[in-house]
Structure 1
Amino acid sequence: MTQQHDSQSPDFHETDGPDAASVEQQLADQVERLTGELEQLRAQVLLERADLENQRKRLAREVESARRFANERLLAALVPVFDALEAGLANASDTDPLRSGVELTLRELTKATESNGLATLAPAPGDVFNPEHHQAMSIVEVPGVAPGAVAQVFQKGYLLNERLLRPAMVVVAKAD
């Protein structure tokens, strides 16, 4: 047997009364709160994705930098070898039988190091002094050389993949 409810029954609740408006307001507040939480979570996910992407890019840059400069210590250790070979050539006579061997050794060493990113920094007299690539050893008056220009080169400098490995040591001309 089915029980029917009528308006006189104590179990019957009207949906249009003050309780229904209160429930509706509570539900609307809950929906608004949940929508706000959902937006916060979406924003948090976007921030975390951006952070992960930034970390991935930073790691890729670090790996590339490590690859480009992995030989830095070895190449820096070879720089004095260049100096010694060039000094030997400067002091050897054209008839010295060892000269051609030293020239060949220097050529091969230069080729091997250039293929690994080493570049010579050899300013010529008259070039503008660049404090990022040159180290001024002294300043002298030199007729015919513009003030602030390289007057003499004591020692070549070197770059490794465009990063300074050793500055060129130079004398700079001063104003007369």
Structure 2
Amino acid sequence: MSDTAHTPEHAPEAAPSATPDAAPSIEQQLAELQAKHAEVADAYLRAKAEAENVRRRAEDEISKARKFAVESFAESLLPVRDSLEAALATQAAKPDTPVETVLEGVQATLRQLASALERNKVLEINPAQGARFDPNLHQAISMVPADQEANTVVGVLQKGYSIADRILRPALVTVAAPK
């Protein structure tokens, strides 16, 4: 090691002397830190309040979405109800209405209902005879001997329905028994 490293020219600068003019007093430092703390605490409280407001608004929006989610669906079913009420009113006013006329009205109302369901993404599950049995879409009521491949649909007892890839009700089917 060289002696020059310890000479005063290369020595690190000494800390400034603790004169009242040069360095802030402990009281001044404390006051500055308290002011900074108050500022940070205020910012924290504001951020916390904002987060709480955002959470509350989100909960309100979710609540409204749940409450009014069926509004569109209900709106599309109103014409179906109107048609059924009109049919009952017509039948009450004219009891001798031919069965064919009533049947036409029922068929038209059924078409209205099918259209309303379709508009609201309620899809029918009605497997064709011979379709492969799918336990995710179908519920087997019984297995019957049939002249078709085992585990295929023989008949549909009740249609199923799904909405947005979720099964509301599986189709009730009979399935071909193994031979």
TM-score (norm 1): 0.56
* Alignment-mate amino acid for residue 105 of structure 1: G
The equivalent residue for 1:134 is: 138
Q: Give the 3 Å change call, closer, same or farther, for CA 168–105 of structure 1 in structure 2.
A: farther
Q: CA deviation at 1:114?
A: 2.5
Q: How does 1:6-155 map to 2 (within 5 A)?
A: 16=20, 21-68=25-72, 70=74, 98=99, 100-101=100-101, 103-117=103-117, 119-145=123-149, 147=151, 149-155=152-158
One-letter identity of the residue aligned with 1:27: A
CA distance in 2, matches of 1:63, 1:108: 31
Question: Percent identity between the aligned chains?
Answer: 28
After superposition, give the CA deviation of every residue in 1:70-123 in whole Å (9 maximum; x if it has no partner).
48xx9xxxxxxxxxxxxxxxxxxxxxx84x446513421212212432654322
SS of structure 2 residue aligned to 1:126: coil
Kindly state the Cα deviation for residue 137 of structure 1 after the two structures are TM-superposed. 0.5
Note if contact 1:157-1:166 (Cα within 8 Å) is conserved in structure 2: yes
Q: CA deviation at 1:160?
A: 6.8
- Normalising by structure 2, we get a TM-score of 0.56
Q: Is the 8 A contact 2:129 2:154 kept in 1?
A: yes
Which ranges in structure 2 are unaligned for 5 or more consecutive residues?
Answer: 1-18, 79-97
Change (3 A) 1:50 1:131: farther
Give CA-to-partner distance per residue, 1:140-159, whole Å, 9 cap, x none.
34343353x32211222345
Partners of 1:123 and 1:163 in 2: CA distance: 17
SS at match of 2:172: strand
What is the aligned-residue RMSD (CA, Å)? 3.7
Change beyond 3 A, Cα 1:163–1:138? same
Structure 2: distance between partners of 1:105 and 1:161 = 30
State the partner residue of 2:172: 169
Q: 1-side partners of 2:45 and 2:126: how far apart?
A: 58
SS at match of 1:124: coil
Counterparts of 2:106 and 2:165, CA distance in 1: 22
Q: Which amino acid in the other structure matches residue 32 of structure 1?
A: K
- What is the number of residues matched between the two proteins? 136
